[in-house]
Every structure is written in C-alpha cells, then in structure tokens.
Amino acid sequence: MALGGTIRGKKTMLRLPTEGDLDAYNRWMADTRVRRAHNIWHEPAMPATWKERFKEVAKEKQAVLWSIEADGKLIGLAFGYMWGLWSGFDLSQLVIDPDRWRKGYGFDVALALHRYLFDYLDLRRSDLELHADNAAALRIADRLGYVEYARGHEVAYRDGAYVDQVRLLMEKETWQERWLGEREYAPLGPGATR
C-alpha cells in the first residue's frame, strides 16, 4: 500500500487492517443494507479469500485500505486509490457497520480522512462515486464541500428499479475555505513539498 498509518478523528480512528478484521469485512459486504447503499468492493467471500484481497491491495502502489475503529472496536472500512500522478484520491468505499449507522461515525471518518488527504498529503482533489439515493452519504459529501460533476442514469438495479450513479469532486481550495477551523496540519507555502 502506498499510504496508510493511523488517522484520528474525534470519534473514530482509521488504521491499517489486520487479519482479525476479515470476518467483519465479509459480514458487511454480505449485509443487504450495505449492498443497497454502496458499490460492493468484491462480492462476499470466505475470510480466506479476503486474505488474498488484502495481498492484492498491498501490491497496488496507488491503493490504500484502512479499518475504522470507534471506542476500540472495529466499525468499518475505507478503501481508495491515488490518481493523477499523486494529485488526487478516489474514495471507493467508506463502509460503516450498519448496526452503528446514525451515530456520526461516517462524517467523523470522512472529515479526518480529508484532513489527511488535503492538509498532510497536499493532494489537489478528491472524488467519489455514490448511488443517487444514498441520502446519508450525499449529505456527508455536501457538508464536506463536494459538488456533482457527472451522473450515470439508471446504473444500478435493485428493488425492482434502476438508480442513478453520481460522481462528486472536491478541490483543495474548497477544503481550505470550508474547513479552515478543522485544519490539523498547517498549510504548505507556495512551491513547498513534503
């Protein structure tokens, strides 16, 4: 994995995954609530297959996978890719255990992750793809400062109907303007590199 480490929010912590996380990953990906809300990152499989997926992610130089904890317990995962010569990040998955929804964990994780991406890694943009009816994820994205830049009509089929897919983008300038008081790392000066 190209990046990783520990990222702390106010309620949550993103950390590198361990083999002990496999059963929970498998359970979430099989949960119909997760499957309805998200694009599925691989189909449910036996934990042994998830071990192989961990190895695949570890080989990808632009991929990163975090497990999410709250109060010392595993509550979710985040997965994404660097792109554009390390100038952007595609947040492919941010899954919170459905039994822990509506506790503010999703926003806390997203805010902490974006502090890391924009303030520490100094990325220029971040994008994500969501089902158009995932109201909770769209609220989080809107609150962070994402804007829609593309829409695929009737992309996903479920519950007897099709649903649109939206692509959202946030630029570093939006992050800096909107989240000035939440900055964990000091902004870099012009032309500075880490």
pLDDT tens for each residue of 153-185 = 988 777 788 989 999 999 999 999 988 776 665
Q: What is the pLDDT of residue 53?
A: 76
Most distant CA atoms of the chain, gap in Å: 53
Q: What is the pLDDT of residue 70?
A: 96
pLDDT tens for each residue of 79-126 = 888 887 778 999 988 899 999 999 999 999 999 999 989 988 889 999
pTM above 0.75, yes or no: yes
Higher local confidence (pLDDT), 192 or 181: 181
CA dist., res. 105 & res. 60, Å (int): 27
Alpha-carbon Rg of the chain, whole angstroms? 16
Going from the N-terminus, what domains does the chain have, and what CATH number goes with each?
A: 7-182 (3.40.630.30)
In 3D space, the residue among 16, 192, 14 whose CA is nearest the CA of residue 117 turns out to be 14
